[in-house]
Every structure is written in structure tokens, then in C-alpha cells.
């Protein structure tokens, strides 16, 4: 569902006509992104048990960066006088909506036995201690968090930059 919402908001961004609409679209985009990663990683964890889980998470995370690289190409295409940024953003959003529909229909949570309350609380405490005591986990946490903060600063100011650069009215 979050991919569908994200794609729909991306499509909508290509059809805004005022700065306020662009700002609203980008704010809704941020909210939709906040729901995507937890949902995606939960699905991956449910479908990939044991030895395939780390590879599946790695492929997913690599896909995020491949998408950013392709986004650079899309930015180049968006600068084309024949197409423009609205066409590129609308196209990306539409493709995402089309891709999300069969995923919504096909992906379901696997049936698992429900854990007991006692074992769940003890497991959460043990997992948290294990993670915070793992040096590699802390390094990975910093590795992914710090660039995301820097990227967020750029992304949060992008509507204002676009408004000034392309003289978009409010």
C-alpha cells in the first residue's frame, strides 16, 4: 500500500500548479516514505527466513541507491525541453502505481503461530541488548542515518529551490 501511495503522490507532484500544492505534495511524499521502509523490511523478514534474509535486505537496500542513480538520469531527462520535469515525475509516479497494484493483490502476510506474551517481551529485551552491543550494527546505523540526514536537508529545501529557480508562483 505504501508504494501505491508514494507513487500516487509522485504522479500528483507532476500536476501541481502552485508552490503551495508543490509544498503539500512533498510533505505528503515524506509521510508516505516514512511508511515504506518499515513495511518493506517487515515483508522481507517474513518471506525470507534464515540464510536468504540478509541477501534479500541487501538487494532491497541496493535498489534504493540504484533508484537514486536512475533519478539522476531522470533529472537529465526532465531538463529536456521536449518533456520537462512534470512529464518525468508524472511518468515515474504512473509506473509506480501500475507496479504497486499486482503487489497489493499478491503479497500477503505468511501465517505463523502467535508467540506468547512472556516470550515476546523477553525476546525484545534480548534483541535490543544484542543490537546495541554489536559494534557492526552501530556502524551500519550511523552509515545509513547520517547520509539520510544530509539528504533530508536537501530534499526539504528542494521545493523552495525549485520555486526560485523556475519562478513558480504561490
pLDDT tens-place string over residues 70-122: 877 777 777 776 777 888 889 889 999 999 999 889 887 777 766 666 666 66
Cβ-contact 29, 9 below 8 angstroms: yes
Statement to judge: residues 76 and 151 lie in one domain: no
Return the minimum-mean-pLDDT range out of 136-140, 146-150, 152-156. Answer: 152-156
- Rounded to an integer, what is the distance from CA 124 to the centroid of its chain? 26
The pLDDT score that the predictor gives to residue 8 is: 95
Statement to judge: residues 156 and 105 lie in one domain: no
Q: Measured between alpha carbons, how far is 103 from 39 in angstroms, rounded to an integer?
A: 13
Statement to judge: residues 24 and 95 lie in one domain: yes
The pLDDT score that the predictor gives to residue 15 is: 95
Statement to judge: residues 51 and 127 lie in one domain: no
Q: Measured between alpha carbons, how far is 97 from 89 in angstroms, rounded to an integer?
A: 12
Across the chain, where does the E strand assignment appear? none
Return the minimum-mean-pLDDT range out of 19-23, 53-57, 122-126, 156-160. Answer: 122-126
The band of 1, judged by pLDDT with boundaries at 50, 70 and 90, is confident
Structural domain containing residue 33:
2-112
Statement to judge: residues 14 and 29 lie in one domain: yes
Q: What is the mean pLDDT of residues 137-142?
A: 87
Q: What domain count does the chain have?
A: 2
Nearest to 68 by CA among 148, 4, 5: 148
Cell of 120: 515476546
Statement to judge: residues 56 and 124 lie in one domain: no
Instruction: Tell me the pLDDT of the chain averaged across its residues.
Output: 84
Question: What's the pTM?
Answer: 0.60
Cell of 23: 509544498
The band of 24, judged by pLDDT with boundaries at 50, 70 and 90, is very high
Amino acid at each position: 500500500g505504501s508504494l501505491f501511495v508514494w507513487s500516487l503522490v509522485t504522479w500528483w507532484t507532476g500536476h501541481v500548479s502552485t508552490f503551495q500544492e508543490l509544498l503539500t505534495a512533498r510533505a505528503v511524499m515524506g509521510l508516505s516514505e516514512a511508511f515504506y521502509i518499515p513495511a518493506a523490511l517487515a515483508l522481507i523478514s517474513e518471506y525470507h527466513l534464515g540464510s536468504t534474509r540478509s541477501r534479500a535486505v541487501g538487494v532491497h537496500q541496493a535498489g534504493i541507491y540504484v533508484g537514486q542513480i536512475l533519478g539522476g538520469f531522470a533529472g537529465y531527462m526532465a531538463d529536456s525541453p521536449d518533456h520537462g520535469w512534470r512529464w518525468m515525475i508524472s511518468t515515474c509516479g504512473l509506473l509506480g502505481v501500475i507496479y504497486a497494484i499486482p503487489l497489493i493483490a499478491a503479497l500477503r502476510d505468511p501465517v505463523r503461530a502467535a508467540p506468547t506474551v512472556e516470550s515476546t517481551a523477553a525476546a525484545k529485551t534480548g534483541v535490543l541488548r544484542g543490537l546495541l552491543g554489536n559494534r557492526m550494527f552501530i556502524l551500519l546505523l550511523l552509515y545509513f542515518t547520517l547520509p539520510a540526514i544530509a539528504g533530508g536537508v536537501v530534499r526539504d529545501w528542494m521545493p523552495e529551490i525549485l520555486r526560485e529557480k523556475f519562478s513558480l508562483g504561490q
